[in-house]
Structure 1
């Protein structure tokens, strides 16, 4: 790719990511209880019921939205060398979002689900690091989140030889907690703990036939054998991939100096083989292409996007084989392209179609279909799938810029 093509592609991918960012934040964002300085996202747009303190709000969806706000802040800061005097608009919104999450969670960051807390800890970790890099000082709500959540994530037990529990009932250990937990500890510099968690996943929940990770394992009652839930979900592969890349050669694993990177390369190949589908984007003349398989709406509406986030990191990691980077990059770019082609531009809810306001974008739940099929006009649009599309488009920009 020539420098000119690279620059043009990067600009185009940045514009797409920014369009998704603007659409999600303007369509779903609001000040909870009208409190200035706090910000949160509705779980659907339009929302019809009044929001009460106990209304559904999906803590972990908000955590991934926070991750996207950090993505946007990173993208906006590309090429900036000098320390900034204040927070950029996206980082300022991330700060307000953390305040909104704490407010909505009754004045605290922890909840009963360790996977939820791991997701928010990861996003807070990135927000804090970026704020410190750009401004020379941290992000106070992120620092508070890391302090409160980090203590909770350290509270692991040795049942079943390691791993992390799904929730405070401590009856189920799963990849959905252990994967992001391992990544969090790796980024925090606790490589020994992170490596132990990754090794436990390979020993306990790895399916060698598919090359992928199973959902989790139940702690047995006395006299019973542990039982494994064999469901395979895209997001679980993503966080383990992220942990493997972050650990690299730092984990001190016994499989050899490059064992984590070899595992990462094998995992990318398994994803390409097992978690993709061939689509011909509806309503276009585009040829068939292989994209990441999505898991519908609800909580599943985030799964594929999480995998794409970490494939995007693999695509630009020079320590991996060129073929692995190419595979990861292709999956991210082609999935992003399919989601972009399926978008639908709609007037903001409550505005007349002739309004001069910029229409917001709605993305399909599945790459390869149209948004009008996933969400016919007039039907509520879920936050999860729109955050997923935003995540994929930000990952595609990082891949395009990095290559």
Structure 2
């Protein structure tokens, strides 16, 4: 993954960024669409790999290659360069994902007994100000999705709530979670809807249900803890199994390509937290475990491997994963098709989530 999609930004030494797709063109990758939040999840995946390095005491990509933590740090720096020398973005959910990933990177640095970087503190300070600005009393609470301030939704409110909870701002986090429960929780289905749009002075409910929206809500509920939040977390795990799996299986559905190519992986990341949380009922932990492992197994089984196992920076990865757990990669990504970074990060997240759950 890092050898195929990872590259320097404009050939600058000490930089690292993920190509949007393979095959790729350097000039097009700079002038084309900028997927800030894909890169944030790339940071998270590298942190996962870094934690495995800690356990195994070996580098995840070979002894001669940089450690996962070092690559993650380079990536955070390069995100700022690619984002016109700033971390602030027009979308609060993008910034929330980077803030969460940077928090995890800082914790990894502490556990590896390497000094943290002032840059990480700067990221957290500057982005917290953005979240404070976007989380208003308008519409009763919640967090705006973008600087247009015409949409308060789960994609922004949930990761911001999780960030607040992880940085010691429990009251703010609980307020956002309570808003989600009151405004966007489907009373019968038990899953969270997308958001509330402000159009011509009126509020319109966007009732779309996406897999990834459930993930950071679950994470925030677990991080906050307490009887009510833990009960809601258990109900949410059950709702995911009931509402968001492929018929007759415990495989979580896919949500396509593009941004949707990340959705299932994000949900699995937080289901893995539930699977490991001893405060939840055993049946809930078992359900979460099964959802994670079944989906990861489906993605792994459906992979497509290049015959020569070679990886080219302008070609395709040695292993290609499907964006749809129900269909093999040979069908969704036939030989010669462009492969998107988002969908491969999703598979990486799924496999890391499965690996994080104890086998006993």
Q: With structure 2 as the length reference, what TM-score do the two structures score?
A: 0.93
Which residue is 1:170 aligned to? 149
Which residue is 2:17 aligned to? 40
- Give the Cα separation in 2 of the matches to 1:125 and 1:350: 32
Q: Give yes or no for the alignment of 1:377 onto 2:335.
A: yes
SS in 2 for 1:50: helix
Deviations 1:181-200 (A, max 9, x none): 00000000100000000000
- Give the Cα separation in 1 of the matches to 2:142 and 2:325: 33
Which residue is 1:179 aligned to? 158
Deviation at residue 53 of structure 1 after TM alignment: 4.1
Which residue is 2:42 aligned to? 65
- Give the Cα separation in 2 of the matches to 1:60 and 1:228: 24
Which residue is 2:167 aligned to? 188
Which residue is 2:243 aligned to? 274
Shifted more, 160-169 versus 211-220: the winner is 211-220
Which residue is 1:400 aligned to? 358
- Give the Cα separation in 2 of the matches to 1:33 and 1:311: 37
- Give the Cα separation in 2 of the matches to 1:175 and 1:90: 30
Which residue is 1:307 aligned to? 267
SS in 1 for 2:246: strand
SS in 2 for 1:91: helix
Task: From the CA coordinates, give the structure whose radius of gyration is larger.
Answer: 1
Deviation at residue 350 of structure 1 after TM alignment: 4.7
Which residue is 1:113 aligned to? 91
Which residue is 2:191 aligned to? 212
Inter-CA distance 297–208: structure 2 relative to 1 (3 Å threshold)? same
Which residue is 1:260 aligned to? 229
Deviation at residue 227 of structure 1 after TM alignment: 1.1
Q: CA contact under 8 A between 2:311 and 2:318: conserved in structure 1?
A: no
Deviations 1:107-147 (A, max 9, x none): 01011100100011000111011112222521343222212
Deviation at residue 171 of structure 1 after TM alignment: 0.6
Deviation at residue 396 of structure 1 after TM alignment: 0.1
- Give the Cα separation in 1 of the matches to 2:208 and 2:41: 22
Instruction: Give runs of aligned pairs for residues 50-89 of structure 1, distance below 5 A.
Output: 50-51=27-28, 53-78=30-55, 89=67
- The gaps in structure 1 that reach 5 residues or longer are 1-23, 81-86, 250-257, 280-288, 354-358
Q: With structure 1 as the length reference, what TM-score do the two structures score?
A: 0.83
Deviations 1:337-364 (A, max 9, x none): 111101111244559x9xxxxx721111
- Give the Cα separation in 1 of the matches to 2:121 and 2:287: 36
- Give the Cα separation in 1 of the matches to 2:34 and 2:200: 34
SS in 2 for 1:111: coil
- Give the Cα separation in 2 of the matches to 1:149 and 1:40: 21
- Give the Cα separation in 2 of the matches to 1:230 and 1:123: 28
- Give the Cα separation in 1 of the matches to 2:14 and 2:131: 28
Q: CA contact under 8 A between 2:3 and 2:311: conserved in structure 1?
A: no
- Give the Cα separation in 2 of the matches to 1:232 and 1:261: 22
Instruction: Give runs of aligned pairs for residues 266-345 of structure 1, distance below 5 A.
Output: 266-278=235-247, 289-345=249-305
Deviation at residue 400 of structure 1 after TM alignment: 3.3
Inter-CA distance 28–57: structure 2 relative to 1 (3 Å threshold)? farther
Deviation at residue 217 of structure 1 after TM alignment: 0.1
Which residue is 1:147 aligned to? 125
Shifted more, 124-133 versus 258-267: the winner is 124-133
- Give the Cα separation in 1 of the matches to 2:234 and 2:118: 37
Q: CA contact under 8 A between 1:160 and 1:219: conserved in structure 2?
A: no
RMSD between superposed Cα atoms in Å: 2.1
- Give the Cα separation in 2 of the matches to 1:304 and 1:245: 19
Q: CA contact under 8 A between 1:332 and 1:392: conserved in structure 2?
A: yes
